[in-house]
Structure 1
Amino acid sequence: MTTPLSASSPDDVTAVCAAHDLTLDEFHALQSHAQEAKTRAYCPYSKFRVGAALLTRSGAYVTGANVENASYPVTTCAERVAFGTAVVAGYHQQQAAAQAGNGNAAAAGGGEGGFKAVAVATDAVGPASPCGMCRQCIREFCDLSVPIIMFDKDSKFIVMKLEELLPLSFGPDALGAPDPAKS
């Protein structure tokens, strides 16, 4: 297991930002948005709050929180809520539209599309990674080099690229479909 870093350490944060092409403001905004989203989790059964924040390539932040259900399989993880919200907002389509030069990117929220980073925050001791289902959901919309930043209750964090969390991944390209992360 990777040794957690500290979000209160300027050296740790600066090194991670440099390694993953993030600004200090983007890192701290991802942390803040994920932790704030965690406060809105609906988890009366597990009491395990999770918040997620996505940073789009256009600089927008999209959040989600876990939403539990008495029928446990109906529960939706924070990461999937965030990506569902981003899809509805059109962020998964912006990249293709921007590259095609047809102007639809502006109609879908403006700017370059796609996702630059994902953050997840929990109340656990030690950072918790996205579950397997969420890793596959992230793969649907993100390039394998996208960093996943995982924060614990004390703002300690681990960063791994999607390809590290989901080696030998199965994505849209395996089905001959356009890969939204590479469009």
Structure 2
Amino acid sequence: MARAGLTAQRLVAAGADLADEAGFEQVTLSALARQFDVKVASLYSHLKSSQDLRTGIALLALRELADRAGDALAGRSGKDALAALADVYRDYARDHPGRYTAARLPLDPETAAASAGVRLARMTRAVLRGYDLGEPDQTHAVRLLGSVFHGYVSLELAGGFSHSAPGSAETWPRIVDALDALLRNWPPPA
């Protein structure tokens, strides 16, 4: 019998909060059972496995990121849109480090295709329309932006930039400026 008040949605939300507090790698059904003062077996009425929980957190994080991006990008184009998208990733990672890690969880193709990750990819391509890139250059540019955003944010969260001046807050807009310049002057194929 399912414990009153426990639902898959509530467990995923609690798991997302736990991920932000303790790290995504610490999220397990056992940890959630302790949090709700129930036996692990009672959670199986709502979730199939720890992987099911982790996938739920990833999907939640992707929805939150896509919602933030949609709000941030409304009415923007060009460099303004690029900066807004970059800030969405950086701010979300700083606000929700565990969820941010979860958003990068590899998903099976069917789950990925039904996730808000598709919406995020469409928004990234919409930003790139301001730079007049055709295919396959647009795909290359999507990969470049993802690499820079995720790489910078991951290094920043790990303290990788805390040992030298200037501070990472000063570097971030410079990176966005450099990306804008590169996108406006995209090199032809070699």
Q: TM-score, normalised by structure 1?
A: 0.28
Q: TM-score, normalised by structure 2?
A: 0.28
Q: For the pair shown, which has the larger CA radius of gyration, 1 or 2?
A: 2
More helix by share: 2
